[in-house]
Structure 1
Amino acid sequence: MITTKDLTKVYTSRGGRTTALRGVDLHVREGEVYGVVGTSGAGKSTLIRCVNMLERPSSGTVTVDGVELTALPGTEQRAGRELRAARQRIGMVFQHFNLLASRTVQQNVELPLEIRGLDRTARRRRAGELLELVGLADKAQSYPKQLSGGQKQRVGIARALAGDPRVLLSDEATSALDPQTTRSILQLLRRLNQELGLTVLLITHEMDVIKSVCDSAALMREGRIVEAGPLTELIATDGSALARELFPLSEFGAGHGGSTVVEVTFQGDSSGRPFISQLARTYQIDLNILGAAVETIGGRQVGRMRVELPGSHQDNVVPIGYLREQGLQVDVLTENGTLA
């Protein structure tokens, strides 16, 4: 549904050149919620603005819903007719709402329909349907200043859906909201994804957002995607940086001298099995659980556990092999807590 190939964006100013994107390859499948996560300055917002051509890439291609947007004529300041038509299939939700203070909630939702030339009756009917969808039918005649932050973002989402888009882009849409409101907005995005068949691409710096709503994710650093894929596959990948950030266990330490510390990743059916107690009984090992983190992602329970085994790595080859035979991912840590 969304594909970028070798995407590069370079900004030129009097101070020199700044490269925001460095050959980004991204593939978002139809109907999924895809998150791009990274720290400030990683290039996330530039990427999403290139996807809908608010920023024209310096090189590379962007294809959305089968249309190569980078091949369509137009500039950042003035889009051509074909590009404008393609953009109507892409909804955009911004961090700071961007609502017009002088317009009511209903009038804000009607704005893109008004620009498209729909008559008043059609605009009102569609705006009413969308406000009902996002749970704000009773706020239609209110003004933005009368709304909470979460309500303003719901208006922004309704407005983004006005053109019946196939794709919804979210640029840090929850970063200005409190945790409870963030959860409600993410639940709304997931519901819209499921009910409307929307493909959702969201930008965030919060791992909790990735864990709670995304099917797939990409980790960005310094303008590059360093890791990407379905979350369940990333979590099962040896040495996955994204998995380690989703389930941080570093605060639990690396055990004591003369022992072997392993991190065990489990998901799906294996999450309900007592594999640690079975290991202790089978090999009569006095092991020590240093820490664990368990989450539900995409309806599946996923977790990681840090376990200390007595003796050297060589002494524990058989117990580690036993865990791997159970379908578990097992990573051995060095004394300083890094992967061996």
Structure 2
Amino acid sequence: MHSTVTETPVITTTGLTKVYQSRGRDITALDGVDLHVREGEVFGVIGRSGAGKSSLIRCVNLLERPTSGSVVVDGTDLTALAGRGNRAGRELRRARSRIGMVFQHFNLLSSRSVQDNIELPLEILGVSGAERSRRALELLDLVGLADRAKAYPGQLSGGQKQRVGIARALAGNPKVLLSDEATSALDPETTRSILQLLRDLNRQLGLTVLLITHEMDVVKTVCDSAALMKQGRIVESGTVGELLATPGSELARELFPVTGDASGPERTVVDVTFHGDAATQPVISQLSRTYNIDISILGAAMDTVGGKQIGRMRIELPGRYEDNVVPVGFLREQGLQVDVVDEDLPAEVPAQSNGAHGAALVKETVK
């Protein structure tokens, strides 16, 4: 089965709030969060530490009880099943079994073998021993660890432990997989392999994946859609393509950071976003030749997102903006997103190094 993104939301939160009590004070971790994750997509929630990401993902499967608001997963209102007590009732436990969860620090039982760790949720659900064993071995093969069934967590690398964690999360044949900073404890190469595994599982099993992260590379590598969280609120969300095409998008700016200041007075600095066919066209040199102007490239960031080349470039044009209305119009006619940089705004996020595809800062003149 191949995953295809539909318009049907499989995870919906409405007005979700979570308030914690700490030393007699109320601390609001979630402040009216509305989230819509479509069936079959990989959706990333990104934000800094303390933004509310972990509270959000733990409220989606009701490991944390929301203070108010609702959570609907695959048509079931989990908040309605929660009841008033602290212990989850039978119906909530059954609904939760259709939601897999992958943790940052693996959460494997050191005294159990790899196979026994994967069988644990099935054991809790009352599945027979023979069926548990068959399912565990099938999942180990799926995550590339068929030869490690009898090993113990202490004998595995971090990446292998996370693969076991993913296999365990899939034991109940979930429709939704939640990933709580699943790669933040791993080195870059292992992170890439785990992200590729999540993307493969999304496509092969038709899984909907909701992941939280503080790493922009994770969003670039695997996400169809993303949301930016700040102080318990979602301040931006949409498909990655939509965000890149949104003027002034903070997420787009952080995904593809470019820097550079005007070289002098009466210069126009613009950020140009390339995606689709435009990413491979020599648009800047065409602009220079067509209008016989010198264009300085102050910075550029290029990467591959969802198999497509996407990039942003900061360029400087001679003269004030009023003098450059026609050249800017030319760029927009080529299907490019063009944002004029207001020099009174704070400095942009510094460029990040992202390996071979990373942000390349250059300064050159095109004639």
Q: Does 1:253 find its partner at 2:253? A: no
TM-score by length of 1: 0.97
Post-superposition Cα deviations, 1:178-197, rounded to whole Å, max 9, x if no partner, equal 00000000000000000000
The separation in 2 between residues aligned to 1:75 and 1:278, in whole angstroms, is: 66
Q: Does 1:306 find its partner at 2:314? A: yes
The gaps in structure 1 that reach 5 residues or longer are none
- Higher mean Cα deviation, 159-168 or 285-294? 285-294
Match of 2:293 in 1: 285
Measured at CA, do residues 55 and 254 of structure 1 come closer, stay the same or move farther in structure 2, by a change above 3 Å? Answer: farther
Residue 321 of structure 2 aligns with an amino acid whose one-letter code is H
Q: Does 1:332 find its partner at 2:340? A: yes
Q: Is the contact made by 1:90 and 1:167 (CA closer than 8 Å) also made in structure 2?
A: yes
Q: Does 1:32 find its partner at 2:32? A: no
Q: What is the CA distance between 1:76 and its match in structure 2?
A: 7.2
Q: Does 1:163 find its partner at 2:172? A: yes
- Which one of 70, 76, 88 corresponds to residue 61 of structure 1? 70
- Which one of 246, 254, 278 corresponds to residue 270 of structure 1? 278
Measured at CA, do residues 254 and 161 of structure 1 come closer, stay the same or move farther in structure 2, by a change above 3 Å? Answer: farther
Q: Does 1:224 find its partner at 2:266? A: no
Residue 265 of structure 1 aligns with an amino acid whose one-letter code is T
Aligned-partner SS, 1:23: strand
The gaps in structure 2 that reach 5 residues or longer are 1-9, 348-367
Aligned residues: 338
Match of 2:130 in 1: 121
The separation in 1 between residues aligned to 2:67 and 2:249, in whole angstroms, is: 30
Q: What is the CA distance between 1:334 and its match in structure 2?
A: 2.5
Match of 1:42 in 2: 51
- Higher mean Cα deviation, 75-84 or 193-202? 75-84
- Which one of 211, 235, 238 corresponds to residue 244 of structure 2? 235
Q: Does 1:148 find its partner at 2:157? A: yes
The residue correspondences of 1:97-116 to structure 2 (distance < 5 A) are 97-116=106-125
The separation in 2 between residues aligned to 1:262 and 1:76, in whole angstroms, is: 56
Q: What is the CA distance between 1:119 and its match in structure 2?
A: 1.4
The separation in 1 between residues aligned to 2:284 and 2:346, in whole angstroms, is: 22
Match of 2:360 in 1: none
Measured at CA, do residues 337 and 281 of structure 1 come closer, stay the same or move farther in structure 2, by a change above 3 Å? Answer: farther
Aligned-partner SS, 1:177: coil
Q: Is the contact made by 1:41 and 1:222 (CA closer than 8 Å) also made in structure 2?
A: yes
- Higher mean Cα deviation, 61-70 or 292-301? 292-301
Identity of aligned residues (%): 72
Measured at CA, do residues 264 and 76 of structure 1 come closer, stay the same or move farther in structure 2, by a change above 3 Å? Answer: farther
Q: Is the contact made by 1:255 and 1:261 (CA closer than 8 Å) also made in structure 2?
A: no
The separation in 1 between residues aligned to 2:82 and 2:221, in whole angstroms, is: 38
Match of 2:23 in 1: 14
Aligned-partner SS, 1:309: strand
TM-score by length of 2: 0.90
The separation in 2 between residues aligned to 1:89 and 1:294, in whole angstroms, is: 38
Post-superposition Cα deviations, 1:226-271, rounded to whole Å, max 9, x if no partner, equal 0000000000000000000001112x33443221111001100111
**Superposition CA RMSD, Å:** 1.2
The separation in 2 between residues aligned to 1:283 and 1:76, in whole angstroms, is: 71
Q: Is the contact made by 1:254 and 1:333 (CA closer than 8 Å) also made in structure 2?
A: no
Measured at CA, do residues 255 and 74 of structure 1 come closer, stay the same or move farther in structure 2, by a change above 3 Å? Answer: farther
The residue correspondences of 1:66-85 to structure 2 (distance < 5 A) are 66-74=75-83, 77-85=86-94
Aligned-partner SS, 1:72: helix
The separation in 2 between residues aligned to 1:254 and 1:203, in whole angstroms, is: 36
